[in-house]
Amino acid sequence: MNEFVYPEIKVGLHIVSLPIGCLSDISFRAVHMLSNSDYVAGEDTRNVKSLFKLLKIKKSMKGIISSHDHSSLDTRRKIIDLIKEGKSVALVCDAGTPLISDPGYKLVNTAIEEGLDVFTIPGPSSVIAALTISGLPTDTFSFLGFLPYTKSKKKNLLETYLKLEASLVIFESGKRLQKTLDLLSETC
């Protein structure tokens, strides 16, 4: 390899992974996509704007669309219509890969149902990062995302997955961590 060759930015929805905590982990391809896509849909437009400032990406705020779990059908429709008009839309979340316990599923599902192209710009994965440093077996694992809020629903889900002979990766908020650890200790 003598030079970077970026794939053509095609019309469609591009799922762009962002770093988890360390901005220097961003891929060249992600920066290229964010710099050259027609629009960027982000979980929090303030974070997207800050990211662009740090990466020295010049993009009008008109090119940044708020897209999160609570976005309306109208917002999803706007993004889908932009793609149908021949535009490229990059979807980002605040950190990591969109759709991995972050918003985006409804938008991707709608794009696929509409016959539109969906692409991935791979990058850091907190799931894989956590698994590789855990000391647990990595050949078979299940990712459960964030557990349900109530203790009984958490316990039912855990009891189902504990039957698997696999490492389990779970996300949890700092505020609920101790209660979840106590439940894991009690259930496991």
DSSP 161-177: HTTSSSEEEEE--TTTH
State yes or no: pLDDT of 1 exceeds 70.
no
Confidence class of residue 57 from pLDDT cuts 50, 70 and 90? very high
In the chain, count of helices (H) and strands (E)?
7, 7
φ, ψ of residue 171 to 5 degrees: the values are -95, 145
Tens digit of each residue's pLDDT (9 = 90 or more) over 98-127:
988 777 889 999 999 999 999 999 887 888
The larger pLDDT score, comparing residue 103 to residue 164, is at 164
The larger pLDDT score, comparing residue 76 to residue 59, is at 76
| pTM of the predicted structure, to 2 decimals | 0.84
Q: Which two structure tokens, joined as six digits, stand for 98? A: 């969109």
φ, ψ of residue 65 to 5 degrees: the values are -115, 135
Q: Is the distance from CB of 10 to CB of 89 less than 8 angstroms?
A: no
